[in-house]
């Protein structure tokens, strides 16, 4: 329902696209500056791609006899250009539009984006200095992330270690333990929303264990609502840690372990001093992948609490969503997104540094 | 480490963990087969005494539930099921085909440069809510909003990094010499890739296709933001049921949730040995 206003306004703005284009050509200094500023890496690969074209297209790839150099280039381009075009059109272009937008005061009720007033860093300043709701959303998301990832890691590692032992029905149990991560986030959110109802099974079990009155109104209290989000998220994604860590444990070479045992190390020492250091790259990959996803936490929270009660479970993504699609403050929301992007880029690249090659060059295991 | 047996304590821990992992799944399936009287009973009913498929029927025929004296569901879920299938299948096909070409290009010719992976990874970090905003603007201008082509384009693009990187890891497992032999035999480069490389990574191609399908089928936010009346997917429909009726139609909602999750769980088990590779962009192989 609340999309309708939004859907119509830009469409109307689109009908006078003539003026839109005119405005575009009169507005470009800022737009172009913004564009070239953001497209650093992509822009660079783009120009090298362009300089390859003439040389590659001149001699057509030979029919039958491969002409090593030029044929290879043409084929390479033919193979990779579609992907690059799609990424540029559908990922980079919107990013640039969002970046431009974040420097304006545009909102859909005010006509074309290109008529919007340029306000410089006003949105950014407002967000960083005055917007406590944003600050809290960021801190909340970080706290939830730290707690969730620690728990997921601990449970996942524990389970993976148990799976290094022998027991019957192992492959069946392995599948069973992976189940949660195969379920779509929206459904996970919905399931736990039902489980945490005041007359739901979670409260039933609590009352059974701790007596009547031990049940909790999960979605009425801020701290219990956050706890519900954490439990849901941990249930959903512990299997990923389990899966990654188990594959890491399975590929630990036997010789160093044997040597340590022969030298008299206790099982505990073997695990912490020999096995864990060898697991480090795998652990980092798991953390990086999960941090990238949990920073964007949205679906489950949307289904569980919609950010409530009040704004006590509002994550960054949920706040941006509400800004853009409930309050129509699109420019402001875009600025918030860029702050988050820069923050998470820094964070993930710091984390990533030790395993960058493994992750980007496609694994050397 | 010598494989040792589980101690009784460890077996107990594992049993408890198994209950915690499976209980939510058990609960949603049970709720989906509860008749309306059991939906919101207090205390909650764990296993319905009279299991029924009425909730599933109601999804496709909103009036079916009336025989239980419950007002009909406002909207059938048929459109959203078809919409989900249409959007995820087409987007998966596009994403995997383009991803396959890119994967061969990047791993065999090193095309794409050093910076492309970082750009792609950075793209994954950007809050989707914010990418959605420019999409809404751009799509309204060119008439793609609330349309399947628009949704499919986004789905395909968003999953492209996954299909490219997962397939790249499979292509790299294959020795170059096989393709080179085919080229010496007189096949052109492109033909060598099409007729030699692709058949040899069939298994990987299948796993990637299924993995990307899981991602597309699960997608929620873009569908939520870009759909209005023409377009619907199961996740959006599920969210609508929850808001519209605030907990009065538990059983029907649960039926839709089960319907959404069954294909994924089947597909997921089928490719479970490749899940780690998919989730980590091919960094971890099994």
Whether residues B261 and A187 touch (CB distance < 8 A) is answered with yes
Residues with Cβ within 8 Å of A205's Cβ and at least 6 positions away in sequence, in order, are none
Which range has highest mean pLDDT (B35-49, B170-184, B200-214, B224-238)?
Answer: B200-214
Domain ranges of chain A: 3-120, 128-360
Q: What does pLDDT average to over chain B?
A: 84
Residue of B nearest to A306 (CA): B243
CB of B147 less than 8 A from some CB of A: no
In chain B, what residues touch A338 (CB-CB under 8 Å)?
130
Q: Which of residues 107-146 of A touch B (CB under 8 A)?
A: 108, 113
Nearest by CB to residue A166, choosing from B5, B218, B279, is B5
For the cut 80, the answer to whether the pLDDT of residue B115 exceeds it is no
Provide the b/e sequence for B183-212 (b: ≥16 CB within 10 Å).
beeebbbebbbeebbeebbeebbebbbbbb
Structure-block tokens of residue B63:
């009036």
* pLDDT greater at residue A271 or residue B134: A271
For the cut 60, the answer to whether the pLDDT of residue A13 exceeds it is no
> A329's torsion region: left (phi>0), alpha (psi -120 to 50) or beta?
beta
Whether residues B111 and A76 touch (CB distance < 8 A) is answered with yes
For residues A93 and B119, give the distance between their C-alpha atoms in angstroms, rounded to a whole number. Answer: 13
For residues A349 and A149, give the distance between their C-alpha atoms in angstroms, rounded to a whole number. Answer: 17
Architecture of domain A128-360: Orthogonal Bundle (1.10)
Q: Where are the alpha helices (DSSP H) in chain B?
A: 8-32, 36-39, 54-60, 78-109, 115-125, 128-141, 148-172, 176-184, 189-192, 198-200, 202-218, 221-226, 234-245, 250-270, 275-279
What is the number of CB-based contacts under 8 A between chain A and chain B? 371
Whether residues B101 and A79 touch (CB distance < 8 A) is answered with yes
Residue with structure tokens 């909340």?
A140
Residues with Cβ within 8 Å of B195's Cβ and at least 6 positions away in sequence, in order, are B182, B187
For residues B99 and A339, give the distance between their C-alpha atoms in angstroms, rounded to a whole number. Answer: 30
Measured on CA atoms in the order A253, A256, A259, A263, is the torsion positive or negative?
negative
Whether residues A76 and B253 touch (CB distance < 8 A) is answered with no
Residue A20: the pLDDT is: 35
Count Cα neighbours of B107 within 13 Å in the Cβ-side half-sphere. Answer: 26
Structure-block tokens of residue B150:
């628009």
For residues B263 and B281, give the distance between their C-alpha atoms in angstroms, rounded to a whole number. Answer: 23
What's the pTM value of the predicted model, to 2 decimals?
Answer: 0.83
> A195's torsion region: left (phi>0), alpha (psi -120 to 50) or beta?
alpha
Residue A31: the pLDDT is: 33
Q: What does pLDDT average to over chain A?
A: 77
Distance to chain B for A64, nearest Cα, Å: 5
Q: Any idea which of A32-36, A232-236, B50-54 has the lowest mean pLDDT?
A: A32-36
The mean pLDDT value for A335-348 works out to 83
**Which ipTM score applies to this complex?**
0.91
Domain ranges of chain B: 79-232+263-279
In chain B, what residues touch A66 (CB-CB under 8 Å)?
183, 188-189
Q: Write phi, then psi, for A314 (nearest 5 degrees).
A: -75, 120
Domain B79-232+263-279 class, CATH top level: mainly alpha
- The distance from CA A95 to its chain's CA centroid, rounded to whole angstroms, is 15
Residue A309: the pLDDT is: 86
Q: What are the residues facing B157 on neighbouring strands?
A: none
In chain B, what residues touch A240 (CB-CB under 8 Å)?
279
Contact B127, A320 (CB under 8 A): yes
Whether residues B43 and A180 touch (CB distance < 8 A) is answered with no
Cβ neighbours around B33 below 10 Å, total:
20
> B247's torsion region: left (phi>0), alpha (psi -120 to 50) or beta?
left
């Amino acid at each position: 329902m609340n999309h309708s206003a939004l859907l119509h306004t830009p469409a109307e703005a689109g009908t006078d696209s003539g003026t839109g284009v005119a405005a575009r050509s009169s507005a470009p200094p800022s737009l172009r500056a913004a564009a070239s500023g953001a497209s650093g890496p992509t822009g660079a690969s783009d120009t090298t791609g362009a300089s390859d074209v003439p040389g590659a297209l001149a001699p057509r790839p030979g029919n039958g006899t491969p002409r090593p150099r030029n044929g290879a280039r043409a084929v390479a381009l033919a193979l990779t250009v579609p992907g690059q075009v799609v990424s540029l059109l559908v990922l980079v272009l919107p990013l640039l539009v969002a970046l431009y937008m974040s420097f304006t005061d545009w909102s859909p009720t005010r006509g074309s984006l290109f008529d919007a007033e340029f306000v410089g860093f006003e949105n950014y300043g407002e967000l960083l200095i005055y917007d406590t709701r944003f600050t809290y959303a960021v801190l909340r998301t970080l706290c939830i992330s730290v707690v969730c990832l620690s728990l997921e890691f601990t449970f996942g590692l524990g389970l993976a270690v148990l799976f290094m032992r022998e027991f019957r029905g192992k492959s069946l149990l392995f599948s069973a333990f992976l189940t949660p991560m195969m379920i779509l986030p929206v459904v996970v959110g919905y399931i736990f929303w039902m489980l945490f109802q005041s007359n739901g099974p979670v409260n039933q079990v609590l009352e059974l264990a701790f007596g009547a009155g031990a049940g909790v109104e999960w979605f009425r209290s801020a701290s219990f609502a956050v706890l519900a989000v954490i439990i849901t998220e941990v249930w959903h994604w512990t299997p990923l840690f389990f899966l990654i860590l188990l594959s890491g444990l399975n590929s630990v070479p036997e010789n160093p372990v044997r040597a340590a045992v022969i030298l008299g190390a206790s099982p505990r020492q073997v695990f912490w001093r020999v096995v864990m250091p060898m697991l480090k790259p795998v652990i980092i990959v798991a953390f990086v992948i999960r941090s990238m996803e949990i920073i964007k936490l949205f679906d489950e929270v949307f289904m569980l609490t919609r950010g409530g009660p009040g704004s006590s479970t509002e994550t960054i993504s949920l706040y941006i969503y509400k800004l853009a699609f409930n309050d129509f403050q699109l420019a402001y929301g875009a600025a918030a997104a860029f702050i988050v992007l820069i923050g998470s880029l820094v964070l993930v690249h710091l984390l990533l540094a030790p395993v960058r090659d493994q992750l980007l060059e496609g694994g050397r295991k | 480490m010598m494989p040792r047996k589980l101690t009784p304590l460890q077996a107990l821990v594992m049993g408890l963990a198994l209950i915690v992992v499976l209980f939510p799944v058990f609960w949603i399936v049970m709720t989906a087969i509860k008749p309306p009287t059991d939906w919101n009973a207090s205390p909650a009913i764990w296993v319905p005494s009279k299991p029924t498929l009425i909730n599933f029927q109601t999804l496709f025929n909103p009036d079916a539930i009336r025989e239980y004296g419950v007002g009909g569901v406002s909207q059938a879920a048929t459109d959203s099921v078809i919409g989900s299938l249409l959007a995820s299948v087409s987007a998966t096909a596009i994403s995997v085909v383009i991803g396959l070409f890119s994967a061969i290009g990047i791993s065999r010719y090193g095309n794409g440069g050093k910076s492309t992976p970082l750009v792609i990874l950075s793209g994954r970090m950007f809050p989707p809510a914010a990418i959605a905003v420019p999409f809404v603007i751009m799509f309204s201008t060119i008439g793609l909003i609330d349309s399947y082509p628009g949704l499919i384009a986004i789905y395909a693009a968003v999953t492209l990094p996954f299909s490219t990187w997962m397939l790249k890891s499979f292509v790299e497992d294959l020795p170059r010499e096989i393709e080179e032999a085919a080229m010496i035999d007189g096949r052109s480069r492109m033909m060598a890739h099409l007729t030699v490389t692709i058949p040899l990574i069939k298994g990987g191609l299948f796993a990637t296709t299924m993995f990307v399908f899981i991602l597309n089928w699960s997608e929620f936010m873009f569908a939520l933001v870009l759909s209005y009346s023409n377009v619907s997917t199961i996740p959006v429909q599920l969210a609508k049921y929850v808001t519209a009726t605030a907990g009065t139609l538990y059983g029907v909602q649960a039926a839709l949730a089960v319907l959404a999750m069954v294909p994924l769980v089947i597909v997921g088990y089928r490719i479970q040995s490749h899940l780690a590779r998919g989730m980590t962009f091919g960094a971890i192989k099994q």
